[in-house]
Chain A
């Protein structure tokens, strides 16, 4: 369960995020939808605690990540904006490294890494060094690394960016399975189709503010549009940045 209350962040004179509030419940997928530069990444960074909010507050399962980062991080798996992995380590070593930092050892660690390798379909490349990996394989390793400590809340910043169709499909299945495991999943995207296909709740962000929030049906109703795409355009007020 993630709650954001009236988040605001400014960089100099630029207001990147202003008065953003939303709730993401367990067993639900919440999508942050918005054009590039709308403030999605800044929002997520404040939620996972690396960026100090200018105003407002965040709680993860009731814990403030700025007050008690260690407990908050233990409950939070993050695929951040930069998704680099270590090229000289194998896929398995990359995942296990993060497992060890989270305190996993021995059989528990091996079992967890094995589960993730299997779930993410990394078997074929698990013991290869990551330097030759495709974009999709790197993304999978980065996600496995974020999930290694079995967090109940998962934040994914543009998880399908740069992936081909097959990898995108696999990613959607993964996100759905995370929800089915009862986790609270928040992901950001600028791709309409993805958000509409996956999300239980959508938070539309435009120019740093929440333009609308609700289920896909609710969004169609409030805007009076039949398709979600039209609803999105109506909410953002332009077609700028719309992709899909």
Chain B
């Protein structure tokens, strides 16, 4: 045990003196909150832009004079103005106008004759910021069309209810927190990446660095067993990872306060209690990340080789976060034991304000813990192999 501590403290001191590994360990957790809060702010700003921009938005219309009734109906929610340019398509593509309506010259004639009267809506579907406006305009026109249609049926003595064959009532049961959680998958994702980033360089240094410098042969000749060496090196990497992830968690949740989620009718739980739960969730993951990285780094002959493998490995834990944003994953049971995925889900639940169920936590910790120990044991076994000790 004392040998283990000797090696552990030496690796810590050595790691702290390595400016490069210290910098790269801390840069990510310091940047992550700004990236997640910044991205979140951007998404919120776009989504909450309900096409209103405050007050009634302007709506450019070509041929207003052909459909005064329609324009009057739109006037309720928009500020209709005549479009005066001569290249409406260009204006939409350039983003100068989000939507332009073009009312056909035959509108009045068709309308009176009860034929479908044509209105063109010009928009660019690839523009995220135009989509809510497009929805709003479409809804307004459909509403007008439905009103007119009902009146026509009534005038002919037919109940408009005949046209409505199915009554669809949409009942949205998601809580504000749950709607937010989908966006908030960003935060756990960056936190999880911090777990992997912060221990990476020290793991490379104590693993591949020991081999590359040619000090491993002398080290394994000491009375310290290969498992003591592996465990001590792992411990040093876990310390780096834990410090980094703590910084990332505290800053990320603190940064959330500056994102205006109310405008989206969303809220998230990000108080001191949540910070504590995040740290609890992350610690086993950090232990797993460090062990896996140490194993890979010990397997690598050189710093560069290890760096190549590990920078790819760092991308893997992003997958659950990405998947959660595209399609919400609901986790139960064994899913929590999958490293990174389980933590992503647990942290998501914490942000939703659901807290941290003990069973989930134990599963997550056990999954990471078992794999971490296995990786450390494998690393110890590697350190006994002739190819590793002598192969440079």
Which of A's residues lie within 8 Å of B, judged by CB?
45, 48-52, 70, 73-74, 76, 78, 80-89, 97-98, 100-103, 129, 142, 145-146
Contact = CB atoms under 8 A, between A and B. Distances in A.
Contact of A86 (B213, B221, B224, B390): B213
A87 B213 contact: yes
Contacts of B6: 97, 100-101
Given A73-B222, A145-B218, 12 more contacts: A49-B221, A78-B221, A80-B218, A81-B217, A81-B390, A82-B214, A82-B217, A84-B218, A85-B213, A86-B215, A89-B17, A102-B222
Q: Helix, strand, loop or mixed for chain B's interface?
A: helix
Contact of B386 (A48, A51, A86, A145): A51
Q: Helix, strand, loop or mixed for chain A's interface?
A: loop
Contacts of B13: 89
Nearest to B7: A101
Contacts of B14: 86, 88-89
B392 A82 contact: yes
Closest A-B pairs by Cβ, 7 of them: A84-B214, A82-B214, A84-B213, A84-B215, A80-B217, A100-B6, A88-B17
Nearest to A76: B221
21 contacts: A50-B386, A52-B386, A73-B223, A80-B217, A80-B218, A80-B221, A82-B217, A83-B218, A84-B214, A84-B215, A84-B218, A85-B213, A85-B215, A86-B213, A89-B13, A89-B17, A98-B218, A98-B222, A101-B222, A101-B224, A103-B223
Nearest to B3: A101
A178 to B, nearest CB: 18
B268 to A, nearest CB: 43
Contacts of A100: 6
B6 to A, nearest CB: 4
A85 B6 CA distance: 16
B389 interface: yes
Interface string B32-52: 000000000000000000000
Contacts of A70: 223
Contacts of B10: 89, 97
A14 to B, nearest CB: 14
A101 B213 contact: no
How many B residues touch the partner, as a band?
A: 20 to 34
B294 to A, nearest CB: 17
B264 interface: no
Interface in B190-239: 213-218, 220-224
B18 interface: yes
A70 B228 CA distance: 13
A122 B17 CA distance: 22
Interface in B1-15: 2-3, 6-7, 10, 13-14
Contacts of A48: 221
A87 B20 CA distance: 14
B333 to A, nearest CB: 45
Contacts of A49: 221
Contacts of B222: 73, 98, 101-102
A101 B216 CA distance: 14
Contacts of A74: 223
